[in-house]
Amino acid sequence: MVSEVPYAESCAPGLAWPGVPAAAGAAMLAMQWQLERSQWFPSERLAELQFRQVRALLAHAITQVPFYRAHLGRAGVASVSEITPATFSRWPILTTPELQSNSGALQAATCPDDHGPVVERFTSGSTGTPKRILDTHAASFYKDALVLRDHLWHRRDLSAKFAGIHFFAGQGRHAGWSPAINAALRTGPGVVNGVGTDVAEQWAWLREEEPGYLLTTPSNLAALVRHGARKGERLAGLRQVLTYTEPLPVSLRAQVKEHWGVGLADTYSCTEAGALALQCPQGDAYHVQSENVYLEVLRADGSPCMPRETGRVVVTLLHNFAMPLIRYELGDYATVGEPCACGRSLPVLHAIAGRARNMARDPQGRVFQPGFDAALDESRLPVSQFQFVQETPSLVEMSYVCERELSAEEKRRFSDIVKARLPYPFELRYRRVPRIERGPGGKYEGFISKVA
């Protein structure tokens, strides 16, 4: 049963309930109090507060960060006070190559003391090209607050066991779900494993641990679902699955529900900003986390996308004063959504399409999100792992892992399903392989376009 009110962790001996949290926990709970209210603000009020923070960030950036000193003029305004959503749309976009080649110039000369120590991080993403990111403890605090917000939105039972299967992790056990959450609220134990662990070993580990919640990547989750289905087994005690860091295949929610009998909550996130959008607890839409990021979805000409339009994602991290990332183009595509029926005013993303290299492009130049994973699910092919690579505008190669070669009839049936689902009748080529390797950043890509 879900706890009505999570218990605060107390720092005072003998004062167990109601708990008296230490300073870090009190700050986290105070932030949750604000986030609980801001999500319901009228859109105009939310935008007003967002741009109050944008202007504070820009004032810091143009005085402390060499890279941005000429940007006000490029935006066509004389002072930060003139920055509005309209004028901010003229601020130059920061690309990943610019970030990589101007790492030093993007570093602030000084940061406010109260933002805490500066932390250096590296992210390689799916391409293996490294990016150096600087962060402050204050910016990390906002990221942690959104993780807790997600748990509270979905009314998860914090006393349950939480399992995480992550990149570059080994098997381990922790006293709670995470240090940031444990400082504020009492949680059950946490256990961790790595996506590099053999799927059969992961499955046996999960069956032994019996967690209430499981967090992992969509590709690893899909492999676990297929493995459990082949064995005719489920995970006892599981209440919900959480996914992050990779685009969520359209069919995976239904597969988890069918085989495990639980729901799935996805988070759109990146290393630079943490959670960009959280799945609504009342549906599948994603709510942009406007208290921590200003997120734009843009057409090719730079104008904003309207609902149901897909465009490139550009973000401004509102609280990173160590290395301000202002109008930073992530390389992702997303689809704008309609206002959510839940009543929250936080902007809505209907779907996350993923990186440009994960979008299909046909010979007419149309760019769209491929649906090969859904076609594969419909076809019921006995493959344990797969990857589609668009070699030319009209040719896609499917690499697959299977105990046997697919028959000519199976290939024909799958090709027919693909051609019925997609706006262009791609020619399909099949290649059986012993395994599909993860990318340089540890991520798995179900579709890669060499022509995007």
Tens of pLDDT, residue by residue over 176-193, are 999 889 989 999 999 999
Range list of β-strands (E), 230-262:
240-243
Burial class (CB in 10 A: 0-12, 13-18, 19+), 368: middle
Contact 57, 65 (CB under 8 A): no
Average pLDDT, the chain: 90
Instruction: Measure the CA–CA gap between 50 and 374, rounded to whole angstroms.
Output: 38
Pairing label, strands 395-401, 385-390: antiparallel
Amino acid at 395: L
- The DSSP output letter for 81 is G
Check residue 2 and give its pLDDT: 47
In DSSP terms, 216 is beta-bridged to 243
pLDDT tens digits, one per residue of 99-126: 989 989 999 999 999 999 999 887 755 5
Check residue 135 and give its pLDDT: 93
Name the phi and psi angles at 90, rounded to 5. -95, -5
pLDDT tens digits, one per residue of 363-420: 988 777 676 776 777 778 888 778 889 999 999 999 998 989 999 999 999 888 888 8
pLDDT category, 423, cuts 50, 70, 90? confident
Lowest mean pLDDT among 87-91, 123-127, 161-165, 261-265: 123-127
Angle 325-328-330 from CA coordinates, rounded to 5° = 125
Percentage of the chain modeled with pLDDT above 90: 67
Report pTM: 0.85
In DSSP terms, 297 is beta-bridged to 313
pLDDT tens digits, one per residue of 185-243: 999 999 999 888 888 999 999 999 999 999 998 888 988 998 999 899 999 999 999 99
Check residue 66 and give its pLDDT: 94
Question: Quick check: helix, strand or coil at residue 79?
Answer: coil
Nearest Cα residue to 115 out of 139, 91, 94, 131: 139
Check residue 124 and give its pLDDT: 57
List C-alpha distances in Å: 133 to 7, 80, 320, 322. 35, 25, 10, 9
CB burial string 66-76: b at 16+ within 10 A, e below: ebbeebbeebe
Nearest Cα residue to 354 out of 226, 225, 443: 443
- The DSSP output letter for 115 is G
Q: Can you say whether the dihedral through the CA atoms of 425, 429, 434, 439 is positive or negative?
A: negative
Nearest Cα residue to 269 out of 101, 443, 129, 27: 443
Q: Can you say whether the dihedral through the CA atoms of 433, 438, 444, 446 is positive or negative?
A: negative
Instruction: Measure the CA–CA gap between 394 and 361, rounded to whole angstroms.
Output: 9
Average pLDDT over residues 63-83: 94
Nearest Cα residue to 330 out of 248, 416, 247: 247
Two tokens, residue 364: 């007419």
Element (H, E) at 64: helix 43-64
Average pLDDT over residues 344-372: 82
Question: Based on C-alpha coordinates, what's the Rg of the chain?
Answer: 23
Range list of β-strands (E), 221-292:
240-243, 263-270, 274-279, 286-288
